[in-house]
């Protein structure tokens, strides 16, 4: 019996370790060199409320191109006249998905990418205004929000034209050890509704999820696991901890030694 006791202790420790790995390891069902259907990278498109800038330039008639650029106007207190600067102001996409460009008027940009907006405005200006016009579009203040059990919750700015869920979680410092990998919530505004999607970071099915590619204004929430939830009670966490179970196992082994000695 005494020879079996060390083996029993090792088995208990190994079982606890394997059980913990199952909860925290990503892509557990992904085999080596396995091909998995993955959502293609989706370029972010403009939606109402987005901010963008347009810069129109021309090598032949640079003075004419400035009339299409929206300058920043500052008003000094006590004066009725504003002074413009060389900075370019932002357009805000309105509720109908339009921006109002000087000289041209309203242009519908909702559902278009940054490059598509630049091409659309450039084509309009070249058709009857400036033949060699070049238009550059830039996006501003696009972000997703990461909440819950991550290292650095908060807003994540979208620095490029696309952002995956894995990239966003990486920018937030990854999940803490107390975050649930099997139930990550992504909330997305679509039309007049907010839709909720749950994904499992432990499974390869994440790669083909409709929220694998994030969109601006998405909210990602990482739920706490049982350990974190147990911290809200006086002894809930201690009952669930591995160290407690190991202590109980050690006590049982000691009792077995005394009984069968």
- Give the model confidence (pLDDT) of 165-210 as tens digits: 999 999 999 999 999 999 999 999 988 899 999 999 999 999 999 9
- Give the model confidence (pLDDT) of 19-51 as tens digits: 455 678 999 999 998 999 999 999 999 999 999
**Residues 184, 220 contacting (CB under 8 angstroms):** yes
The pair of structure tokens assigned to 225 is: 């696991």
* Mean per-residue pLDDT, 59-65: 91
CA distance 187 to 146: 11
CA distance 5 to 81: 89
The CA-atom distances, in angstroms, between 242 and each of 12, 178, 248 are 10, 14, 10
Determine the pLDDT at residue 255.
59
**Residues 57, 134 contacting (CB under 8 angstroms):** yes
Determine the pLDDT at residue 84.
45
pLDDT-based confidence at residue 231 (cuts at 50, 70, 90): low
Q: pLDDT higher for 188 or 241?
A: 188
Name the strands in the sheet holding 193-199, side by side, starting at the edge strand that comes first in the sequence: 154-157, 143-148, 219-224, 179-190, 193-199
Helix, strand or coil, per DSSP, at residue 94: coil
Domains in the chain, start-ordered, CATH in brackets?
28-43+142-228 (3.10.560.10), 51-140 (3.30.1950.10)
Determine the pLDDT at residue 27.
93
User: Measuring CA to CA, which residue among 101, 72, 99 is closest to residue 84?
Assistant: 72
**Residues 156, 171 contacting (CB under 8 angstroms):** yes
For residue 211, count other CB atoms closer than 10 A to its CB: 22
pLDDT-based confidence at residue 129 (cuts at 50, 70, 90): very high
Which residues, including other chains, have CB under 8 Å from residue 106's CB and lie 6 or more apart? 98, 99, 100
pTM of the model: 0.74
For residue 212, count other CB atoms closer than 10 A to its CB: 20
């Amino acid at each position: 019996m005494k020879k079996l006791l060390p083996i029993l202790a090792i088995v208990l420790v190994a079982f606890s370790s394997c059980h913990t790995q199952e909860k925290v390891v990503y892509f557990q069902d992904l085999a080596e060199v396995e091909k998995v259907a993955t959502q293609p990278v989706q370029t972010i498109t403009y939606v109402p409320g987005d901010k963008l800038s347009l810069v129109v330039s021309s090598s032949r008639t640079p003075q004419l191109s400035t009339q299409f650029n929206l300058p920043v106007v500052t008003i000094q207190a006590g004066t009725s006249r504003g002074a413009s600067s060389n900075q370019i102001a932002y357009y805000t996409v309105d509720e109908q998905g339009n921006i109002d460009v000087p000289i041209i008027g309203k242009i519908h940009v909702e559902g278009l990418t940054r490059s598509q907006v630049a091409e659309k405005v450039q084509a309009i200006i070249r058709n009857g205004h400036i033949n060699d016009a070049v238009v550059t579009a830039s996006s501003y203040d696009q972000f997703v929000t990461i909440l819950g059990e991550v290292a650095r919750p908060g807003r994540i700015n979208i620095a490029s034209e696309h952002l995956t869920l894995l990239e966003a979680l990486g920018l937030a410092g990854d999940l803490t050890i107390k975050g649930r990998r099997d139930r990550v919530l992504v909330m997305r505004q679509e039309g007049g509704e907010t839709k909720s999607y749950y994904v499992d970071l432990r499974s390869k099915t994440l790669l083909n999820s409709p929220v694998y590619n994030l969109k601006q204004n998405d909210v990602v929430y990482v739920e706490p696991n049982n350990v974190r939830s147990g911290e809200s009670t006086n002894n809930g966490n201690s009952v669930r901890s591995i160290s407690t179970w190991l202590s109980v196992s050690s006590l049982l082994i000691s009792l077995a030694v005394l009984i069968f000695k």
